Structure 1
Amino acid sequence: MNHLKQIAAKLPEYGIDAMLLSSAPGEFYGVGFHGEGYVVVTAGECRYFTDSRYIEAAEKTVTGAAITMTDRNRSYPTLLQQAIDDLGIRKLGFEDRYMTVAQYNYLNNALQVELVPAQGLVNGLRAAKDQEELDAMVKAQRIAERAFDEILKFIKPGVTEKEIAAKLEYDMLRFGAQKMSFDPIVVSGPNGSLPHGVPGDKKVESGEFITMDFGCIYGGYCSDMTRTVALGEPTEEMKKVYNVVLQAQLAGLAASKAGVTGKSIDAAARKVIEDAGYGEYFGHGYGHSVGIEIHESPNANMRDETLMPVGAAVSAEPGIYLPGRFGVRIEDVAVMTEDGCIDITKAPKELIVL
């Protein structure tokens, strides 16, 4: 999988002769390879430079770009300048979201070329997933869902949050994940009011909610899901809050489609929670795009007015968090279409009581 042709086609729009990919996500998006190096993309030719640690794997994986290895006599700046001279590059776009000031200064001093910030070129392309990307994301989601099925059999009073998190990771790996999308969040009872709480030694108890936020990477692409389950019979208030969150998510999904803003999707879900009297307990955004990275753009929050493109894969994760008592979050990932969205998450959302 690579996206070199798509990147090359966008160069005139940004007034640049070539695009330099130097970040891990950018490199993977460009040439479909996780290593370390630089990708130079022009309309006529692409070059990929890496070192001895990755050259053998790169030669087996990378297509569509000439591959060159650095050595003592050919540093990255030397190879980049050679490409600049050979390909007649005067304006070279770079990933300003990822490049540090030190990296920029290093390249700006070493290269005879104008460096032009062009993060929008790559971000715009990455926002709209193609079918190959979506296939990988669906596979990652199915792996996570298998792990969820297993964890439901594992949870019982006395098991710790850490043990639940470890079991989720183990099962996702044994079911085919490359690695985790992020460190799993597992919080129970009063810890559930911490949206990004860290699993601890607390033992889960009957009568509590347990919120699990987790995902894995397959084929370089992330999955992301959250489920809140009850251990033992929940109270009427717990059931009410759970239902409000579920209805909020369904309202957000109903408002989701290409051509609308993330702000409007967030508003549809947020209104349900506010109307139920819990508005102050929903502090984060409704969702974020998912792909090579677990957090991409555009976002579905109170501020983002970017129009959703066809193929955007956006999390749907409203929540209510009552400090010191409990919390509820339900998260799916939905792919934007012209007429609506496709929810690629198949795990049940109705309240599960263990």
Structure 2
Amino acid sequence: MNQRLHNLTNWLSDEEIAVAFVNSTENVFYLSNFYTDPHERLMGIFICEGIKPFFVLPQMEVNQLKDAGWSNDIIGYQDHEDPWEKINQKLASSKVLSNATVTFETEFLTYKRAQAFLNNFEQPTIIPLEDKLNQMRVVKEDEELEIIKRAAEMADYGVSVGIEALKEGITEMEVLATIEFELKKKGIREMSFSTMVLFGEKSGDPHGNPGTRTLQKGDMVLFDLGVVLDGYCSDITRTVAFQSVSDEQRKMYETVLQAQLASLEISKPGTRIGELDLAARNVITEADFGEYFPHRIGHGMGINVHEFPSMSHLNEDHLKIGMVYTIEPGIYIPNVGGVRIEDDVYITKDGHETLTKFPKELMIVG
């Protein structure tokens, strides 16, 4: 049994929880080093009092699971079979009491599958599993950090490719395609989210959709992208000016940059997470752009590009050594344009390390 699974099993014992079912692809990967997208099919790990943890998944992926190092029991099933029949037999062999305490990912498991699971018990006590798994994943191990660093390097590279591709008349989608093509040539199979390349007034939409808008002199260009590397994500945003920049655009950019630096300055162990948001928000508000900063300062990052914790001003938790998250203040003026600057940040014992390294000073390109 690997150390992560061992730690979770010990916690279940300490909390007197008889059965746990983990079935989100991300948490299954975290506990087993096996990643697959089962689509609509059932997949997961059962950790049950009285028997060793066992894995359920489609039969066609059993060999991949073994290759990933899983050595405990496996329940493989064909598409025409009901996996719950085999699962229920396995749970019955454990002799867990009908009024046992059980846990699963309540935000992920469907109602139908939760019913199938809970039908094994008459009066179970249900405890959500998300909090425990979030707390386990929020502090990155050295091996995880090294992967995220390499993913951040690829994100930096993606921005540099995008900037090099800029020329008058090119479309957002053409630049986006160039970025992803060059990353695939580097071995990147998957982006961590839909790549954004936004020109001019479209950069004023925080989650805009790239299209056929062509690049023109005086446009701000917003790049937001990340890659998945060995199961871990990166996420970077940079904004540049094409050929020229107005005084208002420069003011927006410098305000966002100072807001990000203010948040980074207090990124160290023990800082209340909400203070990171407030530090940046105060800078933007004092520059009279407060109404144009509509989102939190950032989010946790690792196996998921957006994961625990949510970095809002209301978060009362404190930064811990080993946490990885984004700092991404922005100003977005509808139908005019916007600026966002985002980095991936790792908390060290002495402060923080910024994992994305692409320059942040205002660049006028083209």
Indicate whether the TM-score tops 0.5: yes
- Tell whether 2:47 aligns with 1:41: yes
Equivalent position of 2:205 in the other structure: 194
Shift of 1:271: 1.1
- Per the TM alignment, residue 168 of structure 1 is displaced from its structure 2 partner at its CA by 1.7
- Aligned-partner residue type, residue 358 of structure 2: A
Paired position in structure 1 for 2:129: 118
Aligned position for 1:52: 59
Partner of 1:100: 110
Give the equivalent residue in structure 1 for 2:358.
347
User: Number of matched residues?
Assistant: 354
For residues 350 and 215 of structure 1, the distance between their equivalents in structure 2, rounded to whole angstroms, comes to 20
CA contact (8 A) 2:162 2:176 kept: no
The alignment status of 1:242 with 2:229, answered yes or no, reads no
Q: Return the match for 1:62 from 61, 69, 72.
A: 69
- 1:73 offset after TM fit, Å? 10
Structure 1 unmatched runs, 5+: none
Q: 1:72 to 1:220 in 2, by over 3 A?
A: closer
Q: 1:109 matched to which residue of 2?
A: 119
| Displacement of 1:261 | 2.5
Q: Following superposition of structure 1 onto structure 2, how do residues 159-170 of structure 1 map, counting pairs within 5 Å?
A: 159-170=170-181
Range with bigger deviation, 305-314 or 4-13: 4-13
The change in CA–CA distance for 1:179 and 1:111 in structure 2 (over 3 A counts) is farther
Shift of 1:74: 7.3
User: What is the identity, as a one-letter code, of the residue corresponding to 1:143?
Assistant: M
**C-alpha separation in 1, matches of 2:120 and 2:183:** 44
- Taking the TM superposition and a 5 Å limit, the aligned residue runs for 1:1-354 are 3-12=4-13, 14-35=15-36, 36=38, 37-41=43-47, 45-63=52-70, 65-71=72-78, 75-89=82-96, 90-110=100-120, 114=124, 115-354=126-365
Q: Deviations over 1:253-308 (max 9, x none)?
A: 11112333221111111111111121111110100011111111112112222223
Whether the 8 Å CA contact 2:84–2:116 is kept in 1: the answer is no
Equivalent position amino acid for 2:173 in 1: K
Equivalent-residue separation in structure 2 for 1:328 and 1:132 (angstroms): 33
Runs of 5+ unmatched residues, structure 2: none
Is 74-83 or 4-13 further displaced after alignment? Answer: 74-83
Equivalent residues of 2:48, 2:91 under 8 A apart: no
- Look up the equivalent residue of 1:102 and give its one-letter code: K
Identify if the C-alpha distance between structure 1 residues 303 and 162 changes in structure 2 by more than 3 Å, giving closer, same or farther. Answer: same
Q: Distance in 2 between matches of 1:23 and 1:144?
A: 26
2: distance between equivalents of 1:329 and 1:29?
31
CA–CA separation in structure 1 for the residues paired with 2:3 and 2:22: 13
Structure-2 change in CA distance of 1:72 and 1:100 (3 Å): closer
The amino acid that maps onto 1:288 is: H
1:62 CA displacement? 3.1
- The amino acid that maps onto 1:6 is N
RMSD: 2.2
State the secondary structure of the residue aligned to 1:54.
helix
| Distance in 2, Cα, partners of 1:31 & 1:158 | 48
Q: Secondary structure at the match of 1:19?
A: strand
Residue 91 of structure 2 aligns to which amino acid in structure 1?
I
Supply the AA of the counterpart residue of 1:56.
N
Q: Which shifted more, 202-211 or 24-33? A: 24-33
1:113 is displaced (CA, Å) by: 7.9
Q: Is the CA contact (8 Å cut-off) linking 2:197 and 2:223 kept in structure 1?
A: yes
Identical aligned pairs, as a percentage?
31
By how many angstroms is 1:71 displaced? 4.7
Query: Offset at 1:110?
Result: 4.9
Aligned partners of 1:338 and 1:329: how far apart in 2? 28
In 2, the alpha carbon distance for the partners of 1:72 and 1:346 equals: 46
Task: State the shift of 1:129 in Å.
Answer: 1.4
Which digits, 9 at most, give the CA deviation of each residue in 1:303-353, with x for residues without a partner?
A: 222223322211110001122111000000101234322111111111121
Distance 1:64 1:133, change over 3 A: farther
